[in-house]
Amino acid sequence: MDITLKEINCLLKIIDSGSFSAAADEINLSQPTISNHIANLEKKLNITLLLRKRDGVRPSPAGKIVYRSGNTIETRLKN
């Protein structure tokens, strides 16, 4: 199981922005590409990371954990 930084970055941007399309705009990827990255990540981890609702997207309890870990990874890579 190889989790990519792109998948983690997509998850972080979706949670921060509250939508797939806003995240796609922010990181210059198409919305289907973002969706594919998240589907792959959820499949690799065998968990649901995002709760998709009519009014937006929120992290699942597991998604919150991965989000915190992803932020730590991103911060350490920047330093």
Q: What is the pLDDT of residues 24-72, one digit of tens each?
A: 999 999 999 999 999 999 999 999 999 998 888 999 999 999 999 999 9
Tokens 């009014």 map to which residue?
55
Q: What is the pTM of this model?
A: 0.92
pLDDT band at 77 (very low <50, low <70, confident <90, very high): confident
Residue 1: its pLDDT value, please? 73
d(CA 34, CA 50): 13
Instruction: Give the chain's largest Cα–Cα span.
Output: 37
Which pLDDT belongs to residue 58?
96
Q: For the chain, how are helix, strand and coil distributed in percent, rounded to 5?
A: 70, 10, 20
Phi, psi for residue 52 in degrees, rounded to 5: -90, 115
Which residues fall within 8 angstroms of residue 3, CB to CB, at 6 or more apart?
A: 41, 44, 45
